[in-house]
Each structure stands twice: as C-alpha cells, then as structure tokens.
Amino acid sequence: MYPIWKNDSCNPSPVYRLSNLKAPPIHIYEKRRKPRRQWLPKLGCGLLMTLMPTAVLLLQGCQAGSEGQEARKDRQRQFNEAAHGTAVRRYLRNVQEHVKAQWKPSEEEAGKTGVIFFKIDKEGKVKDLKVKVSTGDALLDQRMLNAVKEASPLPKPPQILENEISLDFSFDMRILSSTSIFDDIDELKSMVIKATRSLEKNPDDTASLKQRALACLAMSDVLSARSAAKDLTRLMELEREDAELYLLRAQSFKLLREKANFLSDARKAAELKPEVETRLTLVEALSENGDLTEALAKCEEALTFSPNDADALSTKAFCHLQMHDYQAAIADAERAMAIEPEHGAAYAYRGDCYEALKQYDRALKDYTRSIKFNPDDEYSYLRRARLYLQLGKFGPAVVDATSALEIEPELAEAYYYRACGNKALGLAAQAQRDRLKASSLGFNQAEPLK
C-alpha cells in the first residue's frame, strides 16, 4: 500500500461539509510497502470489461428513493463496475499464486525482470504464450515461459468475463523471497499450525520458527505480528544476526505500532546490509517517527547507491510531500514515472500534491491511474474516495470506499469515508452503522456524524 499523506486541509465541498475530515494516518507499504514492484498480472487490452447485468450491490441500502431515474441508473452502473472489478482482482490474484508456485529463481537472478504475454481461455488453458519484455537472459526467459506452462491449466475465469483474457504477466525476482500478501488466509493458518507442531517437538527448529514468523507477518494483524516478533527474536538468539531478520522484525514492530523499535531494527538492517531495500525501510521508519530531514537524506543515499531506482524516487517524493514541498515532490514522482511508467505510488503521490494545490482534476486523474496500475491497493481507492467527498461526488465516494473494504475488510478509514458519503446521500442508518464500525476499529479522528 502507498503511504497516505496527512492532508489537514482536506474539507468536503460546501454542499456537505464535515468537520475535521482528514486523510487516514500514514500507512507505509506492507513488507516494505507492497512488494517493490507489485508482482501482479496487468490487465491487457484484450480483457473485456463487460458489466454484470444483474450484479449484486456491494453497498447496503444505497438506493435513495429521492434520486431521479438517471441518477439511480448511474449509481447502479457504478456499483456494477465495482462488483466486476472486485471479481477481476480476485481472479488475477488467484492466477498470480498459481504461476508463482512454479517459479523458483536463484539468488544470482535477483534484479532481473521480464514480462510474459499469454491468453487464458474459458477453461483456464494458456495459449499464445510469448516473451514480451526479455530479462536479457535467454535461459531465464525460457524458465519464465515454463513457469506459466507448468501452472496451466490456470483457474477458470469468472463467468462475467465472457471472452478469453489477455495478460501481461510481470516477473520481478526481488520480491519472491517474501510471503505473498495475497496468500490465502486458510493456507497461512495451516502453515502456522504445521510450524507450531514442529516447534512443540523441537523448540529450536529454526526453519519452523522462520516459516511461522513469515506466515504470521502475512496475516497483518496485531496478535500475529506479536507472535512473529517473538519468533524472529528467538531466531536471532539461535542464529547469527543478519539484515533479513532485522528487516522482518522491523515490519512486525511496524504492525504493532511500536515506532521506536521499528526505527531501531530498520537502522540495524541498514547498517548490516546498506542497500536500496534496507535504506528505504529506514526511510519508512524515520518518516513514521517524524524525522523527515534524515528520511530525505537516506533517500538521497539510496539514490546514490541506485540512481535509477523508481521506488527510491517515489519515496523521496513522499518525503517532500510530507514537508509540503509540492513542486519537488511532483518532480521526483515524474522522474519515477519516466523510469517506470506504471509506478502506482508515483501517481498516488503526485495526486496528493495536486490535491493539496487544489488542482482537483489532475489529482483525480492521478488517483485513477494509481488504481489502474495497482488495483489491489486499498489506499488508492481511499485516496480517490476522499477526493470525491471534497468534490461532493458522494455516490462514487461510497463505491471507492467499498472497493477498499473488499481488499481490506478491517480498514477503519474506509468505513468512515463510506459513512460520510452515505450520510450526504440521506442514508442515515447505513452511515451510522459504518461510523460505529470505524470507531470500533480505532478511527476516532473526526467528530461523530450528526
């Protein structure tokens, strides 16, 4: 996920003004943001975006009787698109996991990336498989092709996709050593149970300790993060301390909101292994601890180490954004885009800048691009929902908040934003229910809805 800037000047339109409506707290990517370059298949132009004719509405009670017929049709269209998009995202995640299970890169191949094109028919069979962007290594290119072949047949596409699907599938070896954030929760629980049984027999089984820690981290909840931190601490006692363990434990502390410990472990990881990955995790920790000057300096160090790293430039843009230096942030984001044209974070941060500068049309375009390039980032939808509220477009705001909740059901800010939209639409009961849910999840920054 991309950090969301605290936009304290964010107010809805005069049509429906809510006191103290703010952006959510800063959330940095899980496992150093969502992995360095989101390892997801990207929708190709051959994918039909056919709307569901009788889609189930995702938003409870959103048919306002006072709306005109055209307005209701527009709302229905938006809800259908949201339902369709959710089904597509789930299917693509499923495809990703099947291919990833067949992909075993070596350490020497780290840093090489490639893109494979293929089509999936109604039965899940792969056809027209070819290399679209080469890694520069013919053998590695063939292994990418083989990974897709071995994963075939893939899951059958959902019925709403009437024709075959065309995909550009990106392989980025740098993220494959970490547990996927899209692992099935039941599979993760199974991994935890299996590792726990092994540890009952041998409490010092380092492989099981690490497996359980990774699975717990992927669950991304407080209790699991606490267990992960405990297992990683034990691993450090049993094995030689290394950057990877500090990096993983830093993520545990981040989830636990233990900012000082997060910063301490991030520093240690950067000291033991001063590369772009660890330096940017340190930037993340410094940012959460409010030390923006040092965070920006560490970004510069990372760029000295790797001057064409789009993630480092994007992170630098975020630092400038927090310092309210919007022009510098826009320049950094655009440099990241020049290197990686589909870098969702860069568009998100430039959109934040445009929103702060009250250039709302530009901000809306950038948030929409961020969603296009990373459709599984809940905070991209949350950004656009926030902007829609400011613009008085309450129906679309409700749709985007719901899309965020489809990805992360416990996202308190999304419940609050949806409550704001529904309240403006006259749906008081739904608004109050969402407001109470947001409050129960700890989101109490704004005044209660009246």
User: Rounded CA gap, 383 and 389, in Å?
Assistant: 10
Mean pLDDT, residues 386-411: 91
Q: Residue 349 pLDDT > 90, yes or no?
A: yes
Q: Which amino acid is at 112?
A: K
**Distance set, CA 200 to CA 194, 197, 204 (Å):** 10, 5, 9
Binned at pLDDT 50, 70 and 90, residue 274 comes out as: confident
Residue 409: DSSP 8-state: T
Q: Residue 86 pLDDT > 70, yes or no?
A: no
**Distance set, CA 223 to CA 189, 291, 398 (Å):** 13, 28, 30
Mean pLDDT, residues 73-80: 53
Q: Residue 57 pLDDT > 50, yes or no?
A: no
Instruction: Give the number of domains in the chain.
Output: 1
User: Rounded CA gap, 399 and 385, in Å?
Assistant: 8
Is 106 a member of any domain? yes
β-strand 113-120 against 126-133: which pairing, if any? antiparallel
User: Rounded CA gap, 441 and 219, in Å?
Assistant: 17
Among 100-114, 382-396, 420-434, which is the least confidently predicted range? 100-114
Mean pLDDT, residues 399-425: 91
User: Rounded CA gap, 38 and 411, in Å?
Assistant: 21
Selection from 42-46, 63-67, 222-226 with the highest mean pLDDT: 222-226
Selection from 9-18, 43-52, 212-221, 289-298 with the highest mean pLDDT: 289-298
pTM above 0.85, yes or no: no
215 within 8 A of 179, measured Cβ to Cβ: yes
- What per-residue confidence (pLDDT) applies to 105? 65
Please give the residue that has the higher pLDDT: either 125 or 74.
125
Q: Residue 186 pLDDT > 80, yes or no?
A: no
- What per-residue confidence (pLDDT) applies to 418? 94
- What per-residue confidence (pLDDT) applies to 41? 31
- What per-residue confidence (pLDDT) applies to 9? 35
Question: Cβ of 53: how many Cβ atoms within 10 Å?
Answer: 7
Using N-to-C axis directions, what is the helix angle for 394-407 and 378-390, rounded to 10°?
160
Give the list of residues 6+ apart from residue 432 with CB closer than 8 angstroms, or none.
419, 449
Q: Residue 439 is encoded by which pair of tokens?
A: 């409050």
pLDDT tens digits for range 309-332: 888 899 899 999 988 999 999 999
Cα of 382 vs its chain's centroid, Å = 11
Is 421 a member of any domain? no
User: Rounded CA gap, 352 and 369, in Å?
Assistant: 13
Q: Residue 36 pLDDT > 60, yes or no?
A: no
Is 354 a member of any domain? no
Q: What share of the chain is helix, strand, coil (3-state, %, to 5)?
A: 60, 5, 35
Q: Residue 442 is encoded by which pair of tokens?
A: 């700890």
The boundaries of the domain holding residue 133 are 37-175
- What per-residue confidence (pLDDT) applies to 167? 80
Is 111 a member of any domain? yes
CA angle (152, 158, 163) in 5-degree steps: 80
Query: Where would I find the H helices in 176-291?
Result: 185-201, 206-219, 222-238, 243-255, 259-272, 276-288
- Domain CATH for 170: 3.30.1150.10
20 within 8 A of 445, measured Cβ to Cβ: yes
Give the list of residues 6+ apart from residue 171 with CB closer than 8 angstroms, or none.
39, 103, 113, 114, 115, 116, 135, 144, 147
| Element at 311 (helix H, strand E) | helix 310-322
Q: Measuring CA to CA, which residue among 198, 233, 195 is closest to residue 215?
A: 195
**Average of per-residue pLDDT values in the chain:** 75
Is 390 a member of any domain? no
Is 128 a member of any domain? yes
Q: Measuring CA to CA, which residue among 129, 138, 143 is closest to residue 171?
A: 143
Question: Dihedrals φ, ψ of 124, to 5°?
Answer: 90, 5
Mean pLDDT, residues 45-52: 25
Please give the residue that has the higher pLDDT: either 182 or 371.
371
The sheet with strand 126-133 has its strands ordered as: 41-43, 165-172, 113-120, 126-133
Percent of residues, the chain, with pLDDT higher than 90: 28
Mean pLDDT, residues 206-232: 87
